Chains A and B, each alone.
Chain A
Amino acid sequence: MARIGVFVCWCGSNIAETVEVSKVAEVSKSIPGVVYSVDYKYMCSDPGQELVKNAIKEYKLTGVVVASCSPRMHEKTFRKAALEAGLNPYMLEMANIREQCSWVHNNMDEGTQKSIDLVRMMVEKVKRNKPLDDISIPVTKKAMVIGGGVTGIQAALDIASGGIPVVLVEKESSIGGKMSALDETFPTLDCSQCILTPKMVEVAQHPLVQIISYAEIEKLEGFVGNFKATIRKKARYVDVDACTGCGTCWQKCPVKVDSEFEQGLGKRKAIFIPFPQAIPSRPRIDAENCLKLTKDRCGICEKVCPTKAIHYDDKDEFMEVEVGAIVVATGYKIMPVSAFPEYGGGQYPDVVTSLQFERMVCASGPTLGDLKRPSDGKLPETVVFVKCVGSRDPEHYHSYCSKICCMYVAKQTMLYRHKVHHGNCYVFYIDVRSNGKNYEEFVRRAQEQEGAQYIRGRVSSIYKDGDDMVVEGADTLTNSQIKVKCDLVVLATAMEAPDGIKQLAQKLGIGYDQHGFLTEAHPKLRPVETATAGIFLAGCALSPRDIPDSVSEGSAAAAKVLGLLSKDTLDKEGVVAIVNELTCVGCQNCIRVCPYNAIELKDICNRQGELQRQVAHVNPGLCTGCGTCTPSCPSRSIELQGFRDTELYAEINALAEL
Chain B
Amino acid sequence: MLIKIGREVNLLAFSKKLEKETGTDVRKCYQCGKCTAGCPMNFEMDVSPSQVIRFCQLGMEEKVLNSRTIWYCIFCDTCSTRCPQGVDIKGVMDGLRRMAVARNIKPKSNVRFLEKAFQSIIYLFGRVYEPGMVGMYNLRSGNFLHDVGYFPLMLRKRKISLKPHFKRTREVRQVMKRAQKMKLRKAKELEEAK
Residues of B within 8 A of A435 (CB): none
B85 on the A face (CB < 8 A): yes
Is A458 within 8 A of B85, CB to CB? Answer: no
Interface residues on B, range: 20 to 34
Is A475 within 8 A of B85, CB to CB? Answer: no
Q: How many residues of A contact B (CB 8 A)?
A: 24
Q: How far is the CA of A364 from the CA of B85 in the complex (A)?
A: 40
B84 on the A face (CB < 8 A): yes
Residues of A within 8 A of B86 (CB): 394-395
Extra A-B contacts (9), CB below 8 Å, given A474-B37, A479-B47: A392-B32, A396-B82, A458-B33, A458-B34, A459-B34, A460-B38, A473-B37, A476-B33, A482-B37
Within 8 A of B (CB), among A367-400: 388, 392-397
Q: How far is the CA of A473 from the CA of B36 in the complex (A)?
A: 8
Q: Per-residue 0/1 for B20-62: is the Cβ within 8 Å of any A Cβ (1 yes, 0 no)? A: 0000000000111111111100110001101100000000000
Closest to B79 in A: A460
Is B84 within 8 A of A396, CB to CB? Answer: yes
Q: Per-residue 0/1 for A321-354: is the Cβ within 8 Å of any B Cβ (1 yes, 0 no)? A: 0000000000000000000001000000000000
B169 on the A face (CB < 8 A): no
Within 8 A of B (CB), among A472-495: 472-476, 479-482
Is B85 within 8 A of A474, CB to CB? Answer: no
Q: How far is the CA of A386 from the CA of B67 in the complex (A)?
A: 31
B110 on the A face (CB < 8 A): no
A residues sitting closer than 8 Å to B (CB atoms) are 342, 388, 392-397, 430, 456-461, 472-476, 479-482
Q: How far is the CA of A479 from the CA of B1 in the complex (A)?
A: 15
Is A481 within 8 A of B84, CB to CB? Answer: no
Closest to A388 in B: B32
Contact A479-B84, Cβ < 8 Å, known A458-B33, A460-B38: no
Q: How far is the CA of A457 from the CA of B34 in the complex (A)?
A: 7
Is A430 within 8 A of B37, CB to CB? Answer: no
Q: How far is the CA of A473 from the CA of B42 in the complex (A)?
A: 12
Contact A458-B48, Cβ < 8 Å, known A394-B86, A395-B85, A396-B84: no
Q: Which 8 A-B pairs give the minimum distances between C-beta atoms?
A: A460-B38, A393-B84, A457-B33, A460-B37, A474-B37, A474-B33, A458-B34, A476-B33
B83 on the A face (CB < 8 A): yes
Is A474 within 8 A of B48, CB to CB? Answer: yes
Least distance between A494 CB and chain B CB atoms (Å): 11
Is B32 within 8 A of A479, CB to CB? Answer: no
B120 on the A face (CB < 8 A): no
- B31 is contacted by which of A388, A476, A480, A481 (Cβ under 8 Å)? A476
Closest to A430 in B: B32
Is B39 within 8 A of A481, CB to CB? Answer: yes
Within 8 A of A (CB), among B102-151: none
- B48 is contacted by which of A393, A461, A473, A480 (Cβ under 8 Å)? A480
Residue from A396, A472, A479 with most neighbouring chain B CB atoms (10 Å): A479
Least distance between B56 CB and chain A CB atoms (Å): 15
Residue from B39, B83, B84, B85 with most neighbouring chain A CB atoms (10 Å): B84
Residues of A within 8 A of B66 (CB): none
Closest to B80 in A: A395
Contact A472-B38, Cβ < 8 Å, known A395-B83, A481-B43: yes
Residues of A within 8 A of B31 (CB): 430, 476
Q: How far is the CA of A430 from the CA of B82 in the complex (A)?
A: 15
Q: How far is the CA of A482 from the CA of B37 in the complex (A)?
A: 7
Least distance between B69 CB and chain A CB atoms (Å): 11
**What are 12 A-B contacts with C-beta separation under 8 Å?**
A392-B84, A394-B86, A395-B86, A430-B30, A430-B32, A457-B32, A460-B37, A474-B37, A476-B33, A476-B36, A479-B51, A480-B48
